[in-house]
Amino acid sequence: MKTGKLLSLFRNVFAWALSLIMFIPLLLVVINALKTKTEANGMNMSLPSSFQWSNFAVVIEEGKLIQSFFNSLLYASASTILSIILASAAAYVLSRNRTRVNKVLYFYLILGIAMPMNFVTLTKVMQATHLMNTQIGIIILLAASALPFSVFLIYGFVSSVPRELDEAGIVDGCSPLRLFFSIVLPLLLPVIVTVGILNFMGAWSDFIHPLYYLNSSDKWPMTLAVYNFFGRFQVNWNLVSADIVLTTLPVVIIYLLGQKFIISGMTSGSVKG
Amino acid sequence: MNKKIYPIHFAWITLALYTVFFVLPGLMGFYYSFTDWNSFSTEINFIGFDNFKQLFSADENYLGFINNTLIFTFATVLLKTGLGLAFAIALNEGVRMKGFHRVMLFLPSIVPMLVVGLVFKSILNPATGLLNETLRSVGLGFLAQKWLVDLDWAFKSIIAVDTWKGVGYIMIILLAGLQAISKTYYEAASIDGAGAWNKLRHITIPLLLPALTVTTVLNLLHGLKVFEAVYVLTNGGPGYATDVLYTSIFKEFSMGRFGMGTALSTLLFVFMTIVGYFVVRLMSREGDGDR
């Protein structure tokens, strides 16, 4: 009995230690974002003598953060909406009508989960389609790269929506398009929320696509703006920290609000297949 | 009938976008990796296997980049799976405030890798970083290293940072798997006199195998495509010691040597598509079984 209690104490201490290890680096940034330049020099955990809220104002001004915030918002939301509509339409017909050809098409689509992007030759495609250094180009790239995994998650879910509903719709004279939008799509909502949150956060964190294909700084998303800001203000860790906080805050808020969907979506989706 | 209700043209745009912006560049790579395509001349000439000869030559650094990519992948797969499993087993029962710990452990995986990289650039700073400061203040100063600067430590540090970011996610997948294992197995094993090790070996691991396969695949694909972690933490330095495939592709790209960049990309493309073929076959079969 005594060893049981000790073991349980050990487990709880261990859990707290792990949580701390995961949390301290993030807390470090928040603390230092509120310090003066000299205080933040050491980047340690000591609390600031007085809160320097003005750091955020400086960063927003100097780092052109408002512009990049709206860029990120545009890229993340537009690509998420695009990928959700395209992925659910494709997953729906491929899952419902499993002919030989459709199974091959599904396989071909989800092969993209493993395939790496060839960023070098992609420039040729981007030039040919006149999407180089354009916002719409980044949106399309983000959506296209999110498609394979989105199709995979939605495809599995479509099987759980009863076919009888489709048949009832057809009997009532629904066109295929109406059947999809007014009957099936609302029933896919749980998986769409999960896919939507994952794609949004993925697009918000994305760094490599704009690094390759956006050279004008007024089109940069938050990630690229932060990296550039770091290059210019390396010695001012208080400002860099403030910039990091502002970049990360949106994803952390979405995570805390939707953590049930995110954790269950990312885990059950991958465990059950 | 099915054809009418579920018209395949619903999938056309999806297939088209995916093909044009994802598959096509990969396939174009097969042609352009045999050319001298670069930013200095408008002409693109066919040069046969020259790029690949250079790539596999011992005088160049490319083999080292491939080697680094493989080491990174192998190490992160092993560390994340091993630590993730150990943490999951330790936290499976008897932990209070489970929800809170779950949120905390998952937190690093949703923070952009770029941000994680910048934060750890500060933490791992040899002179002022939090890690060395902490080590010194508790009297373990002899353990302090020049984490990202030292040739022996730079790559290990990158692997550690990536593990820090990803291990919570893996742990939570495995924890979900553990909780699906019925307790009766363990009770029966206890009656038969099995110890902790035997329970782990003969009950936990075999029943967790599907979840372990998933996490291994996730880590494998993530590891081979690593870019931001290296780009932000060391940008391949010191020298070329920590460069991986994706960072070297970006360097070739920035220098305008597109042919060589394409050759490196194509190598990765072939390798990962072959690996992906088996992975995806496994995934789509499981999906069929669910029906």
Q: What is the pLDDT of residue A61?
A: 82
Please report which confidence band the pLDDT of residue A166 belongs to, taking 50, 70 and 90 as the band edges: confident
CA-based end-to-end distance of chain B: 21
ipTM of model: 0.86
Residue A272 has a pLDDT of 42
Tell me the sheet residues that pair with A260: none
Partner B contacted by A156 (CB < 8 A): yes
Answer whether residue A133 shows pLDDT above 60: yes
Query: Quick check: A166 contacting B, CB < 8 Å?
Result: yes
Q: Do B102 and A263 count as a contact with CB atoms less than 8 A apart?
A: yes
Q: Could you tell me which chain B residue has the CA closest to the CA of A115?
A: B273
CB A139 within 8 A of CB B49: no
> How far is residue B124 CA from its own chain's centroid?
21
Query: pLDDT at residue B76 above 90?
Result: yes
Determine contact, residues A122/A171, Cβ cutoff 8 Å.
no
Two tokens at B237?
Answer: 């330095």
The pLDDT-based confidence of A269 (bands split at 50, 70, 90) is low
What mean pLDDT comes out for the span B93-114?
87
Radius of gyration of chain A (CA): 23
Measure the CA dihedral B21/B26/B29/B31, to 10°: -90
Touching B: A residues 83-142, CB under 8 Å = 86-87, 89-90, 92-94, 96-97, 99, 102-103, 105-125, 129, 140-141
Residues 6+ apart with CB under 8 A from B133: A42, A44
Q: How far is residue A202 CA from its own chain's centroid?
A: 2
CA distance B168 to B87: 9
- Name the pLDDT band for B286 (thresholds 50, 70, 90): low
Whether the pLDDT of residue B30 is over 60: the answer is: yes
- Over residues A237-246, the mean pLDDT reads 88
> In this complex, is the C-beta atom of A236 within 8 Å of any C-beta atom belonging to chain B?
no
Mutate: best of A5, A14, A22, A194, partner B, most B CBs <10 A: A22
Per-residue confidence (pLDDT) for residue B55, from 0 to 100: 83
Least confident of A5-19, A212-226, B276-290: B276-290
Task: List pLDDT tens digits, range B208-255.
Answer: 888 888 888 889 989 999 999 999 999 887 888 899 999 999 999 999
Dist CA A181 CA A176 (whole Å) = 9
* Res B287 pLDDT > 60: no
Domains of chain B, first to last: 98-123+154-242 (1.10.3720.10), 244-291 (no CATH)
What pLDDT does residue A265 have? Answer: 67
Mean pLDDT, rounded, of chain B? 87
A120-129, A236-245, B269-278: range with lowest mean pLDDT: A236-245
pLDDT above 80: residue A40: no
A207 pLDDT more than 90: yes
How high is the mean pLDDT of chain A? 87
pLDDT at A138 over 90: yes
Q: What is the pLDDT of residues A61-104, one digit of tens each?
A: 877 788 889 999 999 999 999 999 999 999 999 999 889 999 99
- Provide the CATH topology of domain A64-232: MetI-like fold (1.10.3720)
H/E stretch holding A201 reads helix A189-205
Cα A196–chain centre separation = 8
Q: How far apart are CA B25 and CA B48, in angstroms?
A: 19
A93 vs B contacts (CB less than 8 Å): 6-8, 10-11
The predicted pLDDT at position A273 comes to 36
Q: Which residues 6+ apart lie within 8 Å of B4 measured at CB? A: A176
Q: Is the pLDDT score of B95 beyond 80?
A: yes
Residue A207: how many CA atoms within 13 Å on its side-chain side? 24
**Position B146 confidence tier, pLDDT thresholds 50, 70, 90:** confident
Instruction: Report whether pLDDT(A267) > 70.
Output: no
User: Which of the four pLDDT bands, split at 50, 70 and 90, describes residue A53?
Assistant: confident
What is the percent of chain B with per-residue pLDDT over 90, rounded to a whole number?
37
| pLDDT at site B213 | 85
Using CA coordinates, name the residue in chain A closest to B98.
Answer: A15
